[in-house]
A and B are shown apart, each in its own frame.
Chain A
Amino acid sequence: QVQLQESGPGLVTPSETLSLTCAVSGESISSRNWWTWVRQSPGEGLQWIGEIIQTGTTTYNPSLKSRVTISVDEARNQFSLTLRSVTAADTAVYYCTRVKAGCSTASCYFDPWGQGRLVTVSS
C-alpha cells in the first residue's frame, strides 16, 4: 500500500523560500506515476501546484509556475517542492499525492494523499 508523508519547516519568513519533501513508501518513485503537490489555504478550497515524473518532466499551475520547482530524488524515494518569494497568501496546508500511471483516456485522479503539512508564512 502506497503511503505519502510530507515534511519540512512549518514557518517561513516572507520573501524567503518554502521547501517541503514528500517521502514515498510502498512503491518506487521511479514507477510511471506522476507525483503531485496540492495546497489548501486556511478555510479555502484546493489548488493544484504541479507534478513530476521520475524522468524529471514537470508540469506546473500557470499561476505559480514562475515561483515553483518540483524535483525527484530516486535514491531517497522522495520528491520535493520549492516555492520562492513567499507571501502570506502562500500560507496553506500542503499535500503530496499521486496520479497513478498518469492521466489516461480512461481516468485521472489524485490518490492516495499525505496527511498534509501546514506552512505559515510570517515574520
Chain B
Amino acid sequence: EIVLTQSPGTLSLSPGERATLSCRASPSVTRSHLAWYQQKLGQAPRLLLYATSTRAAGIPLRFSGSGSGTDFTLTISRLEPEDFAVYYCLRYDISDVYTFGGGTKVEVK
C-alpha cells in the first residue's frame, strides 16, 4: 500500500517561529515526484513546492523543502500570520497513482 504519513497532526507555534513539517513515504518516492500544498479554510490547495524543493511561482523564500527516499520535510523559517493553515504533501507513483498525506495543521499558539 502506498502511504504518506504527515506529522505532527497539529503544530502550535507563534508568529516568527520556525515550523518543521514531516512527510514520511512508504514505499520510498522519487524526489521529483513529491510536492507540498498549503490550504486555508474554504480555499483550494495552493502549490508551494514541487520536486521536493523547488518553490512554485510567487512562493516566499521562507518556505523550503528537503528530503529523499522516505523522509521529506517542509520548513517555514519564520511564520507570518498568513502561514497558519493546513499543509499537505503529495506523491506520484509510476503505477499512475497520486496519494496525499493526511495533512498538518499549523495553528497559532
Contact = CB atoms under 8 A, between A and B. Distances in A.
* Size class of the contact patch on chain A: 20 to 34
A88 interface: no
B101 A109 contact: no
Contact of A114 (B35, B44, B46, B100): B44
Contacts of A106: 32, 51
Interface in B53-95: 54, 56, 88, 90, 92
B47 A110 contact: yes
Interface in A77-123: 95, 103-116
Interface string B4-36: 000000000000000000000000001011010
A62 B88 CA distance: 21
Interface of A: 36, 45-48, 59, 61-62, 95, 103-116
10 contacts: A45-B88, A46-B88, A46-B103, A105-B30, A106-B32, A108-B32, A110-B35, A113-B45, A114-B44, A116-B44
